Amino acid sequence: MDIDIDKDVCIGAGQCALAAPGVFTQDDDGFSTLLPGREDGGGDPMVREAARSCPVSAITVAESVSRPGEAGRAS
């Protein structure tokens, strides 16, 4: 899962952090950010709900597409 937060659109409402606190948090300025190590959503079923709850649609969630030969390869 690929999660993107458009920092130019985010207004810091915090709805994402309320919906999926295991993935989203707010930085020192109050804007949404992903928790370290949770950039892929960590399998949290609430990630899509968090994106839907954003009042300015700053969050996009897309399924990751693995290319042939990438599975199991260490980065």
Q: Which CATH class is domain 2-62?
A: alpha beta
Element (H, E) at 34: strand 32-34
pLDDT in tens, 38-73: 988 888 889 999 999 999 999 999 987 765 665 554
Is the pLDDT confidence value at 22 over 50?
yes
Predicted confidence at residue 73, as pLDDT, reads 46
Mean pLDDT score of the chain: 88
Distance separating alpha carbons of residues 26 and 71, to the nearest angstrom: 32
Q: CA 47, 52, 56, 57 torsion: positive or negative?
A: positive
More confident position, 29 or 41: 29
Residue 41, pLDDT score: 87
Residue 64: the pLDDT is 74
CA distance 26 to 65: 28
